[in-house]
Structure 1
């Protein structure tokens, strides 16, 4: 296989994971703060993939691998927060503060939509969305490494 093939598959994998995240959001599973953090490296990987497709070389696929590894790492961190392996940010966990919310926000029936980072809202085979993102992103790292090792043409 050629480098452009692996680049397309790896960047396309990030696009697919983002599409899945937005689909879940449209289905009524709003993202927490850490979920949003996991999306940024995927956006970067897509941009890197487009550039690598056009420009070739090994540097951009290496950056793609770094982006995929970053979102995989954030996914592992998020899974640990969800499973109470370690503390998450105080701004989005059950013990978090309500800074920035007024008394009126707290007393309204509709109120603000607070999504906690330490709560699993959906899972499949006992794995949360964060866990699935971590695993899939780790596979994408392998794809990017294959792109680094492959020939340009």
Structure 2
């Protein structure tokens, strides 16, 4: 089975769709299933929030500029965003699997309170979601692990138009 190449002009739209589905999945797990995110989970969403408007703009610009410098610059920014997202996912997965320590307020115990009132609020409040526990997994991979795979795929997909422009293959023939 041969792989069907994704034209450079459709890559931003694929990035946008996958990014939106990934964020939608995270929000579904949180609000429908009730799986509360830890602080590292919330940090991992930030690259996706940043990528949504950039992917949309890259999609619009690629239709108008026929893969000129603006969509390529936006796709380069998306590539960097998803490389950072991959790193965040690796860090969180490492904390979950005990490879290294996580943030102090996230990996067990209570964060140091600023006052007695803060301490009372912490003690009476809900148990904070720990970053070093895997609340859900599928095939031995946590959501942070899946974020690594998705982010890596999105980084590659975002880099595709850059690679094609660099090698001058398929840029003019896409549509």
State if a TM-score over 0.5 links the two structures: yes
Structure 1 stretches lacking a partner, 5+ long = none
What is the Cα deviation at residue 143 of structure 1?
A: 0.6
Retained in 1: the 8 A contact 2:38–2:131?
Answer: yes
**1:90-109 matched pairs, under 5 angstroms:** 90-99=104-113, 101-107=118-124
CA distance in 1, matches of 2:109, 2:119: 18
CA distance in 1, matches of 2:23, 2:74: 20
CA distance in 2, matches of 1:104, 1:31: 20
CA distance in 1, matches of 2:72, 2:101: 37
Moved more, 48-57 or 96-105: 96-105
What is the Cα deviation at residue 50 of structure 1?
A: 1.0
CA distance in 2, matches of 1:147, 1:99: 49
CA distance in 2, matches of 1:11, 1:67: 13
What is the Cα deviation at residue 55 of structure 1?
A: 2.1
Structure 2 stretches lacking a partner, 5+ long = 1-5, 63-70, 165-170
Structure 1 partner of 2:81: 67
**Cα distance change of structure 1 residues 104 and 6 upon mapping to structure 2, 3 Å threshold:** closer
**Cα distance change of structure 1 residues 36 and 3 upon mapping to structure 2, 3 Å threshold:** same
Larger RCO (CA under 8 A, 6+ residues apart):
1
Structure 2 partner of 1:21: 26
Aligned CA RMSD, in angstroms, stands at: 1.8
CA distance in 1, matches of 2:53, 2:96: 30
Equivalences, count: 150
Larger gyration radius, structure 1 or structure 2: 2
Equivalent of 2:56 in 50, 55, 67: 50
- The answer on 1:116 being equivalent to 2:130 is yes
Deviation per residue, 1:56-91 (Å, 9 max, x gap) = 331100101111111111000000001110111111
